[in-house]
Amino acid sequence: MIFSRKRAGRHSRDERATEVLDSADTGEATAPELARGPYDIAEAPAGVQRLDLGSLHIPAVPEVEVRVQADPQGVVQQVVLVHGENALQLGAFAAPRSDGIWDEVREEIRRSLFNDGAAAEEVQGEYGTELHARVRTQDGVTALRFVGVDGPRWMVRGVYQGAAATDPAAAGPLAECLDGLVVDRGMEAKPVREPLPLRLPREVAEQAGQADTDGDAASPAGGRSAPEPR
């Protein structure tokens, strides 16, 4: 089963940026670079192989399987990265220009889990405040770790499952994917919290159409999704 930072999240991103360096030869300052992502498309490092899913560009990391679930039109409904017994579900959402939304979204997720009888607590993590939860499913109690990253007019939400849900060090290559993730929000106006559009790569969509499939490409096992921002 796969389940789908604090308003200061943007400041946390700034703290992860490298210092502006002065050129010894010209005396000119170079533009600061983020030490790690998720990156906005405008600041993404070049020379990295990524899978283009529209608003999310996922870096190619060895032994990480990208599973997507799409409708017959090729519109992706869910993206899950899998490594061993660990999984990371990814989603990107529109945010206002001035403030991040992870604080509010995290609280809504916590309330939704509480209403369903699940315990959840806030924990400080690498990206700021995370939400750790334990939910009851038909397979027993499952641990989830919700991570949020506020970017320029977008927010990325990741949900870890497996050992990575309770031990961040176990995330390994999945954390590498999150650190290298690129978000392409687009320039058009969008309602705050609206999911950013995802799509299958053209060649995958064409193959799916030719095979007359139901639109699933390496679909993850069914299950309950994380509460969506409202």
pLDDT, one tens digit per residue, over 117-171 is 998 999 999 999 999 999 988 878 899 999 999 999 999 999 999 999 999 999 9
Q: CA 70 to CA 92: how far, in whole Å?
A: 16
Burial of 35 (0-12, 13-18, 19+ CB in 10 A): exposed
What's the pLDDT tens digit per position in 75-115?
Answer: 888 999 999 999 999 999 999 988 899 999 999 999 999 99
- Mean of the pLDDT values across residues 52-59? 96
Task: Grade residue 214 by pLDDT with cuts at 50, 70 and 90.
Answer: low
pLDDT at 57 over 90: yes
pLDDT of the residue at 138: 82
pLDDT of the residue at 3: 34
Q: Which of 187, 184, 198, 196 is nearest to 41 (CA)?
A: 184
Task: Grade residue 9 by pLDDT with cuts at 50, 70 and 90.
Answer: very low
Angle at 134 between CA 79 and CA 169, to 5 degrees: 65
Looking at per-residue pLDDT, the higher value among 7 and 73 belongs to 73
Indicate the fold that domain 39-201 takes in CATH.
Protein Transport Mog1p; Chain A (3.40.1000)
Whole-prediction pTM value? 0.78
| Residue 123: Cβ within 10 Å count | 11
What's the pLDDT tens digit per position in 157-196?
Answer: 999 999 999 999 999 999 999 999 999 999 999 999 999 9
Matching residue, tokens 């490409």? 217
